[in-house]
Amino acid sequence: MLKFVKNHMESITGIEIYPMISLLIFFVFFVVLFYWVITAKKDYIKTVSNIPLDNQNDTEI
């Protein structure tokens, strides 16, 4: 089965660019995410981390 897929993919011209594009998107996403985490304000992180523990917004059924 894998040989069939591999041979079929090798016959498509220009397909070798797609793994490179996928890797680039993956890398850029995590670099931007890392930058956002490093530059996030500590007050914002503390506020967001306490949201699940905040019981004031809960409604009882």
Torsion of Cα atoms, 16 then 20 then 26 then 29, to 10° = -130
Token digits for 4? 């069939």
Q: Which tens digits make up the pLDDT trace of 8-41?
A: 878 888 888 998 999 999 999 999 999 999 999 9
Q: Which range has the worst mean pLDDT, 3-7, 31-35, 48-52, 54-58?
A: 54-58
Q: Which of 3-7, 10-14, 28-32, 52-56 has the highest mean pLDDT?
A: 28-32
Comparison of pLDDT for 8 and 47, the residue scoring more: 47
Whole-structure pTM value: 0.58
* 60 pLDDT higher than 60: no
